[in-house]
A and B are shown apart, each in its own frame.
Chain A
Amino acid sequence: MAAHAFLIEDLACRRGGRVLFAGVDLALKPGAAALVTGRNGSGKSSLLRVLAGLNPPFAGRMLWQGEDTRREPEIFRRAMRYVGHADGLQTGLTVIENLRYWTQLSGSPSDRGALLSALAAVGLEALGDLPARMLSAGQRRRLALARPIASGAEMAGLWLLDEPTVALDGPSIDLIESAIARFRAAGGIVVASTNAPLSLPEAIRLDISEYEPEAAG
């Protein structure tokens, strides 16, 4: 059993013909967290998309439990939950129907009780039967974050959260922080990008701007 469940080695990313960052190394043990910061356009979202497997890395590799995530995507996808910029909500479906679909797709428990307790963790339990189109921006964000929460730490071991607290108010941020804390206490690993204050105790800080290669002269 490797001590580092999620290992990033010498990762580089190229977007639109420009190398955004190169040489990113990160080793995360169960329960660890990494907080990715950096100015706008420096590659925070790109890093998370590469980690999730949406974009191929320009160089380097990622190991989940010792397996290359690009060679064994199925094992990795079973363990990984990604919350990107877009909330991925179908406006015609209700809050609980939206959540149910994603839990079914990831093989997590999708009975009403499990879904409601995930919604309670983000403070949406009273809105379960409301169409998603009626939600405010902050509520939509919270529903998106209920997705990884619904899986539980025994189902998934890694959360990749891209700007999780965007559009959230103070009490909601507290809810998300405590959900992350519970997940980490159960052995989960979190990589979150943010420019807003997000308190992740003992998180590894990674300023992605520092990994920008020198512009070739």
Chain B
Amino acid sequence: MAGFGATLARDLLIARREGGEALLAVIFFVIGTVLFPLGVGPEANLLAAVAAGLIWVMALLATLLALDRLFQADWRDGALELMALSPESLTLIVAAKCLAHWLVTGLPMVVAAPLMALLLNLPPSGWLTLIAALLLGGPALSLIGAVCAALIVGARRGGVLMTLLALPLYIPTLIFGAGAVQAAIGGFDASGHLALMAATTLASAALCPWAAAAALRQAME
């Protein structure tokens, strides 16, 4: 477990030193969402109807934006090889990197979500569910994305490939996440959707670090 704690602390420290670069994803999330009312026009009802879906799509895209960097820097400077050769489990090291990634990109998005909800005129009955869904489902985005990032590590034009790989895998999270908010707005019980999101995150937490570690080992040969 020493590898998990040390890697988490290291990646968070790197993110803090990079400052603005690490917050790029959440800035993209905010600015991208702000563009929709400007483009669609201030039609309050229209915006309210699509708000949940929009926020979730922006969250997916913003997560994707930051995933590129999850392994790329460590790959280039040889640090990944040293991680793979350490006695600590590479799976746990990858899990720590995913958690750090979520803390730096996913959590700020959760914090910014109420502001976005206000901006898009999302009915207040859906706010709590939106935050809960982003909290429960957000880690799955980082975890699933980590597998894709590990698969394209070392590839040229990895960013495009990354998008093609990851976005289809994000569809279940998107459906349950937006569905939960819509259900809450419609006055229905959203707990079923939220439970499915939590299940997605738990399953990803169990499988994705292991798969990503295997992909990284393959890439290093």
Complex: A89 Cα to B14 Cα, angstroms: 12
9 new A-B pairs (CB below 8 Å) besides A56-B221, A77-B86, A105-B7? A52-B85, A54-B221, A84-B78, A84-B81, A86-B81, A88-B82, A93-B13, A107-B2, A107-B88
- Contact partner of B78 (CB less than 8 A), chosen from A88, A104, A107, is A88
When each residue 51-70 of chain A gets 1 if its CB lies under 8 Å from chain B and 0 otherwise, what string results?
01111100000000000000
Q: Is the CB of A106 within 8 A of B73?
A: no
Q: Is the CB of B87 within 8 A of A106?
A: yes
Please indicate the chain A residues that have their CB under 8 angstroms from the CB of B83 in the complex. Answer: 105
Give the size category of B's interface with A.
20 to 34
Number of A interface residues in the complex (CB < 8 A): 29
Q: Is the CB of B85 within 8 A of A74?
A: no
Please indicate the chain A residues that have their CB under 8 angstroms from the CB of B2 in the complex. Answer: 104-105, 107
Which of A84, A85, A102, A104 has the largest number of chain B CB atoms within 10 A?
Answer: A104
Q: Which residues of B are in contact with A by a Cβ distance under 8 Å?
A: 2-3, 5-7, 10, 13-14, 17-18, 73-74, 76-79, 81-88, 93, 220-221
Q: Is the CB of B221 within 8 A of A78?
A: no
Q: Is the CB of A85 within 8 A of B86?
A: no
Please indicate the chain A residues that have their CB under 8 angstroms from the CB of B220 in the complex. Answer: 54-55
Which chain B residue lies CB-closest to A83? B82
When each residue 19-61 of chain A gets 1 if its CB lies under 8 Å from chain B and 0 otherwise, what string results?
0000000000000000000000000000000001111100000
A residues 70-105 touching B (CB-CB < 8 Å) = 74, 77-78, 80, 82, 84-93, 97, 101-102, 104-105
Q: Is the CB of A93 within 8 A of B14?
A: yes
Q: Is the CB of A87 within 8 A of B85?
A: no
Q: Is the CB of A82 within 8 A of B17?
A: no
Q: Is the CB of A105 within 8 A of B3?
A: yes
- Contact partner of A101 (CB less than 8 A), chosen from B6, B18, B77, B85, is B6
